[in-house]
Structure 1
Amino acid sequence: MTSRMRQEIGQQPEALRQTVATLLPELGAVRAAAARTRQVLFIARGSSDNAAVYGRYLSEAYAGRLGTLAAPSIATSYKRRLDLDGVLAVAISQSGRTEEIVETLEWAKACGAVTVGVTNGEGSPLAEAADVALLTKAGEELAVPATKTYTTQLAALAVLAVGLGADVDPDDLLRVPDEMERLIAETEGSDALEKIAAELAKVPGTVVSARGIAFGTALELALKLKEACYLHAMGLSYADLLHGPIAVVDADTPAIVLGAEGSPTLEGTVALAERVTGAGARVYGIGGGADLASAASVALPGPRLPEWVAPLGLIVPGQLLVERLARTLGIDPDNPRGLRKVTQTGA
């Protein structure tokens, strides 16, 4: 029986088509909001926080605007008022009903920020609270691990980056759904997916690493491995990994390394893979083209997309790996223990 998670992975290309078609016409509203600001503050938790990391890299590397990740407790627990004049506050929530995120967005507005809400929840409190609402079109997501709601969030943040003045071609977004379809077919048609899942099923943990535009994808894959497979997965920038934690990578703790083709960080990603395999540990590559594939023990394909939209495709082989590994371990990937679809973190 096909899991709901697998079904929803397969629904992503159409969800992306609908989301991009809906949001590109909103560029005028985004540009008007961005014109009143000079930097971007991202407000999120969980998978949405990993999407925010992608948004931050887009803001800084492509739009030339400082991007930062908010600490919601400043608003909800410390209740400190900050000067947010000139700030575009972007709150990201799949449901739009996470009280902490809505409260933090309202706090940001009260502190002088212009606000944007990214959510799949039309009519949700978040959409109602934001000056500009970017509504994704993922449809209802039934599996607890976020897949299509996550990638449509990435699409919304890519549209946001265009509105911020990023030096990119918006038409690149139109190529993503077809690439997703190719990646799903190619990944499931390879022996590598089953091989990696079988090997990961025998170890207690793994390190997931990337840098730059792919870093948020590494964090998201690590989160999914923890959520759905109960694996001790550590998501790290390879720069941080090399500062000490690389000692944990050994025969019992392999590394999953992700890279976007054409990225200025890809050379370092390949060097990390070579160092890990040179030390006798296993490396599983995702993306990065032929260079990363040749340095890895086993590799899954990556998207053939420009770097700025590569993360929308790069997570897909990782999602398929998580779903396959969960089933290999005898875990229901749709309903991991201890988790609900909407998490309320309180103050």
Structure 2
Amino acid sequence: MNNIDGKYRKYFLVKEMLEVKKILAATNTLQIFEFIKHIKHKKILLTGEGSSRIFPAKKVIYDARRHNYKEMIITEGASQSAEYNLDDYTVFIASNSGKTKESVTLIEKLRKKKHKNIIAVVAHKNTEIINNADYGYLLGSGHEEAVPATKTVMEQAIFYDILFRKSNNKNLPDLNKMGNLIEKVLKIKIPEKIVNKLVSSKMIYFSGRNNGVAEELTLKTNEIARKKSDYLEGTYAVHGIEEVMSADEIIIVIDPFQEEEPKIQKTLVKGIGMTIIAISTRKTSFPTLQIPDYGEFNPYLELAMGWNLLIETALKQGIDLDHPERARKIGNEFE
């Protein structure tokens, strides 16, 4: 994609994806550091709905487990979170709109229990969630016109990433470098043969680590490419689901485990005749959409490549990127 060709330029969704570079460059890391002092407990809940939770929360949880962060970080949707005892948790609530019903209801229930450590991460000021939290971080990305959330997802993830890396004395990303790499990935030309495979597929599976990338792209496939999709965590793809897979379906593998590639080739490619596409920093045994290598921050680039691929797939089908028929910007708005 690019911001020059008219077929891309007319859509807010493309503009908002390409705004990520500017948003990252403008991020005030010192302001994020200030939120460390607002964390009163070692147990952390990162909640929210849909795209405000999947990648932002699961990316930082993956890092926390790899690096043994001092905080114990979990994530659940707000409705299920309301069933838990959160007395000794710091609760982060992320919402693009600041009006998500499930999250507002969770705050109400926590307030009844005298909970006093709720931190909001939202894109709109003077909204129910930030107004009723103890502390609030206002995203710089602002309002999104397109229904699929993109730039806010990246900024929510960066907020958590920087916050908990600083708290645990881990290396921080160079946000200017990251923004440049994301823009570079978004502008990579996707081979038409790969796009055509996605267009003709009956089902698009995403397989990968439980760090939010594959799962978030599964949701974006519904919203952007209007295709049925499913998320296959880890090596799930070769542990039973192959029984109902078919050759007219496709799997996109995010940074595949190299030692598992022969099994995938044998079971899915040779055994069923499926097409496997990889997104990775290295050339895999599958057709591969290669991204630059930025170490622990590669998930941001993997997500951007997925966006790029889905934009091309949608445009090939003549889809209006900004206006799904049934999906809404605020999935369940507080009224």
TM range (shorter): 0.7 to 0.9
- Residue 125 to residue 164, structure 1, CA distance change in 2 (3 Å): farther
The counterpart of 2:102, out of the listed 89, 92, 100, is 100
Show the counterpart of 2:170.
Answer: 168
Question: Residues of 1 paired with 2:74 and 2:163: CA distance?
Answer: 15
Question: Residues of 1 paired with 2:250 and 2:62: CA distance?
Answer: 27
2:166 aligned with 1:158:
no
1:172/1:306 contact within 8 Å kept: no
| Number of corresponding residues | 322
1:107-256 matches, cutoff 5 A = 107-108=109-110, 110-111=112-113, 112=115, 114-165=117-168, 167-185=169-187, 187-188=188-189, 191-192=190-191, 194-213=192-211, 216-256=212-252
The counterpart of 1:69, out of the listed 75, 84, 99, is 75
What secondary structure sits across from 1:55 in the alignment?
helix
2:16 aligned with 1:25:
no
Show the counterpart of 1:301.
Answer: 290
Question: Residues of 2 paired with 1:48 and 1:345: CA distance?
Answer: 14
TM-score, normalization by structure 1 = 0.84
Amino acid at match of 2:88: G
2:166/2:172 contact within 8 Å kept: no
Show the counterpart of 2:4.
Answer: none
The counterpart of 1:15, out of the listed 13, 23, 26, is 23
**1:86-124 residue CA offsets vs partner (Å, 9 max, x unmatched):** 312111111111122122134345543622211111332
- Residue 205 to residue 75, structure 1, CA distance change in 2 (3 Å): closer
- Residue 45 to residue 171, structure 1, CA distance change in 2 (3 Å): closer
2:93/2:121 contact within 8 Å kept: yes
What secondary structure sits across from 2:279 in the alignment?
strand
2:61 aligned with 1:56:
yes
What secondary structure sits across from 1:117 in the alignment?
strand
1:84/1:113 contact within 8 Å kept: no
2:14 aligned with 1:6:
yes
Question: Residues of 2 paired with 1:269 and 1:176: CA distance?
Answer: 29
2:90/2:117 contact within 8 Å kept: yes
2:269 aligned with 1:277:
yes
Q: Report how far residue 255 of structure 1 moved.
A: 0.5
Question: Residues of 2 paired with 1:113 and 1:284: CA distance?
Answer: 47
TM-score, normalization by structure 2 = 0.86
Q: Report how far residue 278 of structure 1 moved.
A: 4.0
Amino acid at match of 1:267: Q
**1:218-256 residue CA offsets vs partner (Å, 9 max, x unmatched):** 011111111222211101212333332233443211110
- Residue 179 to residue 269, structure 1, CA distance change in 2 (3 Å): farther
Show the counterpart of 1:83.
Answer: 85
Residue segments in structure 2 that go unaligned for 5+ positions in a row? 1-6
Question: Residues of 2 paired with 1:144 and 1:283: CA distance?
Answer: 29
What secondary structure sits across from 1:134 in the alignment?
strand
What is the RMSD of the two structures over their aligned residues, measured on CA atoms?
Answer: 2.5
- Residue 173 to residue 158, structure 1, CA distance change in 2 (3 Å): farther
Residue segments in structure 1 that go unaligned for 5+ positions in a row? 260-264
Question: Residues of 2 paired with 1:342 and 1:207: CA distance?
Answer: 25
1:75/1:107 contact within 8 Å kept: no
